[in-house]
Amino acid sequence: MKVASPLPIRILTHNIRYATSAPFRGEKSWADRKQRLINELQYHSRHNSEIFICLQEVLHIQLLDILSGLNSNSINGRDTGGSDWAYIGVGRDDGRQAGEYSPIFYRPAIWELEEFKTVWLSETPSVPSKGWDAASIRIVTVGIFKHRVSRKRVLGMSTHLDDQGCKSRLEAAKLILAQIDGYLSHGLLGSIDGVFLAGDFNSEEDQEAYTVLTAVNSPLIDAYKQVGAALRYGSENTYTGFGYEDEPAKRIDYVLLGPQNGNNHSWTIQGYAVLPNKFDDGVLNSDHRAVVADAELA
């Protein structure tokens, strides 16, 4: 039996920068960055049981470090163990462990995973492949999650669009919308109560992917635009670089929510934040800042 009251959900997305063996100027190694990143995820999920964590640029070794860190419950410096967290996602290069993941972390005690798949953002979406003019293989991770108490069903997606191919970003956005439409129109598991798409789109507001994904006929809206400027927390830009890149800071990481139908929308967005990625020690935990949206699902 469904619980009628709104369901509060937090969605956090962060491009964590892959564990390169040749760091940029100003970039620290993953060994130096990982605990800072894990601390961020632990802090922002500690009292938010229904949270989804969407990450990008995650290599398998980083995936294992983060999963272990999330499942490491520390009290006064003592690790109490536990296995509260799980994830969905595969390496984009082979559909197993090779290449970058765009995983979604969740708590199985809170969410029942009903379906999971990876869609390659290409002309051959069912197999590992590079699409159109993309410089790299790109994917969207897709999951159907059912809330164990309210029985509300959420379609969740995490993605990282290409940084070079304009046509790739455009076609990828269309492909993602087609996936959403398929679930909303022909869902075999039952009705979808809410949708989220989170990730690094490599697209600013006036560019191809964002304009397609948030068009008038799209079921998605940008959480950022549902919260007044005076009420948002943190910075505007989500990409910072490591301080020496020859490109400006910009907003390219997003949380989009749906479905909307005219003036009717499944979510009430209550808060939006862009979190800092550098503190007093000067170490950047990534070249991107995390984005957080707090919303209630009707």
Q: pLDDT tens per residue, the chain (298 residues)?
A: 444 689 999 999 999 999 999 999 999 999 999 999 999 999 999 999 999 999 999 999 999 999 999 998 644 444 445 579 999 999 999 999 999 999 999 999 999 999 999 999 999 999 999 999 999 999 999 999 999 999 999 999 999 999 999 999 999 999 999 999 999 987 655 699 999 999 999 999 999 999 999 999 999 999 999 999 999 999 999 999 999 999 999 999 999 999 987 667 899 999 999 999 999 999 999 999 999 999 999 9
Query: Which pLDDT score, from 0 to 100, does residue 187 have?
Result: 62
Is residue 2 in a domain?
Answer: no
Q: Which domain holds residue 176?
A: 7-297
Per-residue pLDDT, 80: 45
Residue 76 domain flag: yes
Of 295, 292, 199, the residue nearest 7 (C-alpha): 295
Residue 50 resides in a domain: yes
Whichever domain contains 24, its CATH number is 3.60.10.10
Contact 139, 106 (CB under 8 A): no
Residue 103 lies in a domain: yes
**Is position 184 within any domain?**
yes
CB distance 211 to 269 below 8 Å: no
Residues 4 and 144: their CA atoms lie apart, in Å, by: 20
Is residue 200, in this structure, part of any structural domain at all? yes
Residue 70 amino acid letter: L
The total number of structural domains that make up the chain: 1
In-domain check, residue 1: no
pTM over 0.75: yes
Instruction: Please give the pLDDT value at position 188.
Output: 57
Q: Cα–Cα distance between 181 and 175 in angstroms, integer?
A: 10
What tokens were used for 62? 């980083």
- In this predicted structure, what is the pLDDT of residue 4? 62
